[in-house]
Amino acid sequence: MILKMYEGVAAAMLGSIKNIFKKSFITKLSALLVMGAMKDFKKQMDYKDYGGAPLLGVQKPVIKAHGSSDARAFYNAIRQGITCVQKDVTGQIASFVKTDDGVEN
């Protein structure tokens, strides 16, 4: 659910920013000045670079990929799953939840 919200917010923000820069000659010129930064921002918001989002509360690592994922997105989702296994993310979460480590007194 967070992944879907993230994708929706990213699409809305990028669309709004694009519309702002199309309003006048001055805003079009200013768009040229920030074009590099905007491309970097767009790349940071690209779900294909993340591949998916982890489902928490399950016994084994599960990565939920976007419904329209392409090969790059699936590659990154698989890479994320491998990292979760290598770092024992589900085991660490289970250990943390079973103890009082995360609770402030």
2 and 17 assigned to the same domain: yes
Task: Kindly report the pTM of this predicted structure.
Answer: 0.62
Cβ pair 62, 38 in contact under 8 A: no
Instruction: Look at residue 80 in the predicted model and tell me its pLDDT.
Output: 93
28 and 70 assigned to the same domain: no
Per-residue DSSP letter, 52:
E
Angle at 101 between CA 99 and CA 105, to 5 degrees: 110
41 and 55 assigned to the same domain: no
55 and 100 assigned to the same domain: yes
Instruction: Look at residue 95 in the predicted model and tell me its pLDDT.
Output: 87
Q: Total domain count for the chain? A: 2
68 and 40 assigned to the same domain: no
What range does the domain containing 29 cover? 1-45
Which of 61, 67, 79, 84 lies closest to 7, judged by CA? 67
| Mean pLDDT for the stretch of residues 9-31 | 89
Instruction: Look at residue 102 in the predicted model and tell me its pLDDT.
Output: 58
23 and 65 assigned to the same domain: no
| Mean pLDDT for the stretch of residues 3-26 | 84
3 and 32 assigned to the same domain: yes
21 and 58 assigned to the same domain: no
What are the residues whose beta carbons fall under 8 Å from the beta carbon of 52, sequence distance 6 or more?
Answer: 3, 63, 64, 65, 66, 69, 73, 76, 77, 80
* Chain segment 46-103, per-residue pLDDT in tens: 878 888 888 888 889 999 988 888 999 999 999 999 999 999 999 998 888 887 655 6
Q: Report the alpha-carbon distance of residue 9 to residue 97 in Å, rounded.
A: 31
25 and 57 assigned to the same domain: no
Instruction: Look at residue 62 in the predicted model and tell me its pLDDT.
Output: 93
| Mean pLDDT for the stretch of residues 28-55 | 86
Q: What are phi and psi of 60, to 5 degrees?
A: -125, 160
